[in-house]
Structure 1
């Protein structure tokens, strides 16, 4: 009887120990965020100690009904992975380190704030919104609204409060660590949009130029696309685009309002070679805080960040798709396969206005 009791006691101790360890690895019930992993487990990304990054105060303002201080303490933390590197002035890529970051996603932090667009009477959808994140030194980075709330992958932009190296097993490395919390955009290829000690997030709609809304134009066809950079017309793209590389994408075309629009193919020239020379005087600046306002002849519009278009870790490229029905859809429509909703494929494309805020 004593032996049986001893075995039962040992089993209970084992179960309790296993349960305690399991509690460290289960996802947070409310957010799906992971709280902690065992460093001896299967994960390659959780084998090193975390360095804490000191958080600060964060405020949200702009086109919201309820501006004010963010109570981030009530949110769970999420994890992203990032290989930090950036081209230098000579074009060579300088590698800094590979990291796992843990912190608060902008999706979670901004979700409670109610949008109050200043142009809502003219244009209701949120597709023309963007976000400026600023730190205590006045440095800025820009994100589109879609990057945070309307993409295929949520919670990929965080304000990191913990940082851990992802280290190779055949070589000793000592990757530098930060000391204060920072913005990390894990969808970016290069780390242009890292920003230490963010203090303010401003939500805005595009207002650099007025584009009238005409939901039923007599002639919706737009034969050309203007490329504008900081209020200066730099180029006009016409029908002859044979000199540019072409791509073809399959799609599941799903709209925010009407849902399924079938599974059309989109084919056309890549946008990058049409515009990249205009970024050259300040590539880092454009990738860090540049935005692109995309508008059709009928006035329907989207905003993308420049990094969202051209600094992607998945290296998926936007195209100017040439629709089969050009009378209805114009000669070009912007198509980005990374966009979840069909609303971000502007037809009757008339202008792409690249700007800074």
Structure 2
């Protein structure tokens, strides 16, 4: 009797996510291309397998259509692109890597985008995979068995609506923004008194110094730069970017898949975000527009991406936001 009880204990664990069988997925050859010096085929045999858990939900009207809960096992894009030697087209003008993004294409020609910041800057790393295996996360009471995919899949675990989880990815293209800016890193006491929102080059809206309105939220922060290290530990208080701009750049399937946002300051410093990493998060680590009124070299607005480990994409003197599609950027 004791032996039987011991056997049951050994078979059962506290892990909710390993109760169903692991099913291997059909993998395709994946090519890395674009602004890299060493393009070529991904060698999956050299990479570690990692796991993410996902509640797959597609955009459906004003809400979502749940399709299943899964654990995916596969290869993170963090690892896949780790040895890529970057060869930015605009490196002479703008060496920082925060205007890079990647386009992932599947065998059917569908494309989705991911910012370089999503891959290499988040506090929680390795949450974007090319899945090679899957297991259901089965409800203990209903025993509902969700449909299983057959082919490999791009999986973005931080997305609320999983429109970027496209099947059978075959190509990863690294790109930088082709939009040119005047670079002047020697502007004395730089201060931007207004923030403009544009669709491409078309002006949609402007916030003047002191006129930011909306529900203010506060995030405790340890503000740490990749180059200069610690900047401070003062909380940031501001308005959620997605709440302030959702009427300017509405949620749609296309925007979730290929929407991009380019943010910049008067000195030409800029960063790229995807639509989904701002408007489509499931972790509530939101991007804030922070009022910095009257603060020399900071204001009147600062962008604070709470999910980033480093502060590099936190644009001070934020004066322009452009809403784009990937092919425009």
TM tier, shorter chain? over 0.9
- Matched with 1:143 is 114
Q: Does 183-192 or 239-248 show the bigger shift?
A: 239-248
| 2:40 equivalent to 1:71 | no
Map of 1:73-222 to 2, 5 A cutoff?
73-88=45-60, 90-207=61-178, 209-218=179-188, 220-222=190-192
Contact 1:266-1:322 at 8 Å conserved across structures: no
1:42 CA displacement: 2.4
Contact 1:39-1:47 at 8 Å conserved across structures: no
SS where residue 255 of structure 2 aligns?
Answer: helix
Cα distance per residue 1:110-148 (max 9 Å; x no partner): 111100111111111111111110111211111110111
- Matched with 1:339 is 308
Find the aligned partners of 1:245 and 1:186 in 2 and give their Cα distance: 27
Cα distance per residue 1:265-294 (max 9 Å; x no partner): 2122222232111333x6111111111111
Cα distance per residue 1:42-61 (max 9 Å; x no partner): 21100001222100010011
Contact 1:269-1:320 at 8 Å conserved across structures: yes
Contact 1:250-1:264 at 8 Å conserved across structures: yes
Find the aligned partners of 1:234 and 1:325 in 2 and give their Cα distance: 25
| 2:249 equivalent to 1:279 | yes
- Matched with 1:20 is none
Find the aligned partners of 1:62 and 1:304 in 2 and give their Cα distance: 19
- Matched with 1:298 is 267
| 2:28 equivalent to 1:59 | no
| Larger-gyration structure (1/2) | 1
Cα RMSD after superposing both structures: 1.6
Find the aligned partners of 1:311 and 1:352 in 2 and give their Cα distance: 18
Contact 1:231-1:355 at 8 Å conserved across structures: no
1:150 CA displacement: 1.5
Tell me the TM-score normalised to structure 1 length. Answer: 0.85
Task: Give 2:202's match in structure 1, choosing from 220, 223, 232.
Answer: 232
Find the aligned partners of 1:39 and 1:309 in 2 and give their Cα distance: 41
Cα distance per residue 1:183-234 (max 9 Å; x no partner): 0000111112111111110111111x21111101146211111112244322
1:355 CA displacement: 1.3
Aligned length: 317
Find the aligned partners of 1:160 and 1:217 in 2 and give their Cα distance: 47
- Matched with 1:43 is 15
Q: Kindly tell me: are residues 226 and 83 of structure 1, through their superposed partners in 2, closer, same or farther at Cα, counting changes over 3 Å?
A: same
Task: Give 2:219's match in structure 1, choosing from 240, 243, 249.
Answer: 249
Q: Does 222-231 or 341-350 show the bigger shift?
A: 222-231
SS where residue 154 of structure 2 aligns?
Answer: strand
Cα distance per residue 1:143-190 (max 9 Å; x no partner): 110111121111100000111111111112120111110100001111
Q: Kindly tell me: are residues 349 and 159 of structure 1, through their superposed partners in 2, closer, same or farther at Cα, counting changes over 3 Å?
A: same
Cα distance per residue 1:55-90 (max 9 Å; x no partner): 0010011110111111112212100000011231x3
Contact 1:105-1:157 at 8 Å conserved across structures: yes
Structure 1 unaligned runs (5+)? 1-37
Q: Kindly tell me: are residues 39 and 63 of structure 1, through their superposed partners in 2, closer, same or farther at Cα, counting changes over 3 Å?
A: farther
| 2:303 equivalent to 1:328 | no
1:242 CA displacement: 5.2
Indicate the structure with greater helix content: 1
Find the aligned partners of 1:39 and 1:87 in 2 and give their Cα distance: 38
Contact 2:293-2:299 at 8 Å conserved across structures: no
Find the aligned partners of 1:42 and 1:178 in 2 and give their Cα distance: 26
